[in-house]
Amino acid sequence: MSRGICPRVKSCGPFWIVSALVLAASAVGADAHSCHEVRMAFQLRQVGPLHRVPETPGTDVDLLVCKHQGPSCCTRKMEENYQFAVRRETLHSIHSYSYELEHLLSGHSDAFRDMFQYLLSFSQGHLSSLLEQTYSSLSRRALPHVNQLFSSLSLYLRGANISVEASVHQFFNNLFPLAYTVLINPGMEGGGEMGDCLRMIRQDVNPFGPHPAVMAQELAGALEAGRQLGLAMDEGLLVMNATKHVSLSKECVRGLVKMVYCSHCRGLTLIKPCPGYCLNVMRGCLASVSELDQPWRRYVGLLEQLTHATAGHHSLELALLGVRGHVNEALLYTQLHGPLVTATVDKVCGLSTAEPTGTQPTNPQVTTSSVTSSSLPPPPAAPTKSMAEQWMGQFAHLRSSFPLKPSKNNRHSLKSLSREFLLYLQRYKSFFAALPEMMCEGETVVDGSTCWVGNDLAESYGGRVVGNGLHAQRQNPEVKVRVPNPVLAEVKEDLERFIQETHEAFPKLGQIETWDELGSGETEEGGSGDCDDEDGCQASGDGQSQNSHTQPPSEGKPMVRQPGGDGAQKSPPKPPSVKVIGGASPGGWAGPWSLALLSSAALCLQWTLF
């Protein structure tokens, strides 16, 4: 029996072998084209309900995006889920790349405003201490007006529609009734109609001389760049917010689904897109975003210029520190011109009942070598030399230099903050042009091996890689860009308008000398390369090493009085000598040198006569 079977087996051997191989291949093929891995990827990436993924590939699937020959693990419902998922994932990636830039702008915007508030608080305390220690008779009634002035300056720096000049003149309008009834005519009632009249006629009578106008001009010129810097950062945050919430077109979403998920329909869940293919898809999707590149580059340049204008040469700090000196000299001026001010007020208001107190100030604070010119004539008599020297000795502490920051070890100065901001800002100058490339970096794509090109596998992408922007997308083979994004088009227009208006308001902004041109701020003030001006490591306060601070003012900008040689401080060591703007001249210079000059002139005249 076996003999009879054996010949039949031998004769049928090749048929059975081929049959076995076909069955084995069918089994392997069925396992290879199962949808098990697709189901796992669908679940892990939280694309949608798992029951929508079939167990095995289907052959009669009607797909709209992921069309290909052969069986597919995708269905129409899965394609809808893929569209939602790819939209979510793409926007999340845009948020991730935009977060650091947005954080840079928002964080430094808050830091600059905090620094401005610190400087305002320091200057306010500086002025309040002057009133409390030296003009104690009117300080209690004047402090509310001081608070109102600095509150207005703070609101201005935060972008409020407030006039610095008007705020300063309002402060002096409110100060005049106090000065008139306390310093010029002690004991006089200054309320009611009297106070209203004094406030109304202050600018016509000009009892404080030129100091209110100079103080208003210096503050307006120094604060406007800081205010515009804050507004510019707010404008940048609006651009970033619009970028984060950009809407993706239908053509873009279809292109993204083909690039990211259509390979899953064929069971290829681990394959990555080719780099060139990914760039075409992303540049098509972000064409309207890339249109922000050129105005954004100009915007970054504008931020750099505004930062230099705000922190360069300590103009903002000096202007705020000068408030005390201007107020002090204004009060001294009105005391020195007391009789004439009283006579003028009597003619205009007709309410004065007290006799003039004389030509001497009732409570002199600081003596200057001369009173600056004004529309009022000089008083009938001047203080005697001995009295002047006595005042100088009593109030010499008011003329001491003040550091630009309270401590040598405090690194959080306005200039160091500005340098840090500019250092980080340079990294994002080409952010919008580089965003599509960043979206195609890392694990998103694969280079140098087999990759996905939208409908099949390939060794490399054979299509033409287009550039950035709307115009370049006409040749994009992957994503058709029909119309620009209207929201981003409006954002671009607003950004360009803001840049133009800023340059119109600051015509000399581009001519401001940068720190790089000054040696990166390390040796610009005569200090060593290891210690900059923020550390208070300048040369001695003799005034000779401060010449680098004296820069020609911009046209239309007030000239800020720069640090001079008013004397040195012992603690902290080697502080930057800062003369309070509008402050009194140092006693060591005003008295002896002026007398020496007069003596020399008298000797010359005597020799000439002989």
- Report the domain count for the chain: 1
Distance CA(210)–CA(77), nearest Å, equals 79
Q: Identify whether the C-beta of residue 270 lies closer than 8 Å to the C-beta of residue 530.
A: no
Span of 128-132, 275-279, 307-311, 444-448 with lowest mean pLDDT:
444-448
- pLDDT of 467 strictly over 80: yes
Within a domain: 528: no
One-letter amino acid identity for 170?
Answer: Q
Is 30 domain-assigned? yes
pLDDT band at 497 (very low <50, low <70, confident <90, very high): very high
| Residue 597 pLDDT greater than 80, yes or no | no
Predicted confidence (pLDDT) per residue in 533-551, tens digit: 444 343 333 333 333 333 3
Contact 183, 363 (CB under 8 A): yes
DSSP string covering 486-521:
HHHHHHHHHHHHHHHHHHHH-TTGGGSPPTTTTTTT
Nearest to 195 by CA among 217, 212, 216, 173: 173
Instruction: Classify residue 54: in a domain, yes or no.
Output: yes
Whether residue 421 has pLDDT greater than 70: yes
58 forms beta bridges with 72
Q: Name the pLDDT band for 583 (thresholds 50, 70, 90).
A: very low
Residue 279 pLDDT: 95
Q: Which of 574, 480, 486 is nearest to 533 (CA)?
A: 574
Higher pLDDT, 170 or 3: 170
Q: Give me the phi and psi of 273, to 5 degrees please.
A: -70, 155
- Residue 48 lies in domain: 21-62
If pLDDT is split at 50, 70 and 90, which confidence band does 187 have?
Answer: confident
Average pLDDT (506-513) is 74
User: Does the structure show a pLDDT above 70 at 4?
Assistant: no
What is the tens place of the pLDDT at every residue in 124-150?
999 999 999 999 999 999 999 999 999
Cα separation, 196 vs 175, in Å, equals 12
Kindly report whether the peptide bond that precedes residue 572 is cis, defined as omega within 30 degrees of 0: yes
Considering Cα of 465, then 470, then 473, then 475, what sign does the dihedral take? negative
Per-residue model confidence (pLDDT) at position 324: 96
Confidence band for 156, pLDDT divided at 50, 70 and 90: very high
pLDDT band at 509 (very low <50, low <70, confident <90, very high): confident
> How far is residue 80's CA from residue 78's CA, in Å, rounded to a whole number?
5
For residue 45, being part of any structural domain is answered with yes
Angle at 401 between CA 396 and CA 403, to 5 degrees: 150
pLDDT band of 299, cuts 50, 70, 90: very high
Query: Residues 300-318, buried b or exposed e (16+ Cβ, 10 A)?
Result: bebbbbbbbbbbbbbbbbb
pLDDT at 561 over 80: no
Query: What are 309-363's pLDDT values in tens digits?
Result: 888 877 888 999 999 999 999 999 999 999 999 998 888 887 544 444 443 443 4
Proportion of the chain above pLDDT 70, given as a percent: 67
> What's residue 487's pLDDT?
93
514 falls in which pLDDT band (50, 70, 90)?
A: low
Mean of per-residue pLDDT scores for the chain: 74
Q: What's the rounded mean pLDDT across residues 373-398?
A: 37
Nearest to 34 by CA among 5, 11, 55: 55
pLDDT beyond 90 at 70: no
Which residues on neighbouring strands pair with residue 451, listed in sequence order? Answer: 458
Confidence of residue 58 (pLDDT cuts 50, 70, 90): confident
Over residues 85-97, the mean pLDDT reads 93
Residue 328 domain flag: no
**What pLDDT does 260 receive?**
93
Render 294-314 in DSSP notation, one character per residue: HHHHHHHHHHHHHHHHHHGGG
Distance CA 133, CA 468 (A): 65
Lowest mean pLDDT among 29-33, 472-476, 560-564: 560-564
pLDDT, tens digit, 9 for 90 and up, residues 230-258: 999 999 999 999 988 888 999 999 999 99
Residue 55 lies in a domain: yes
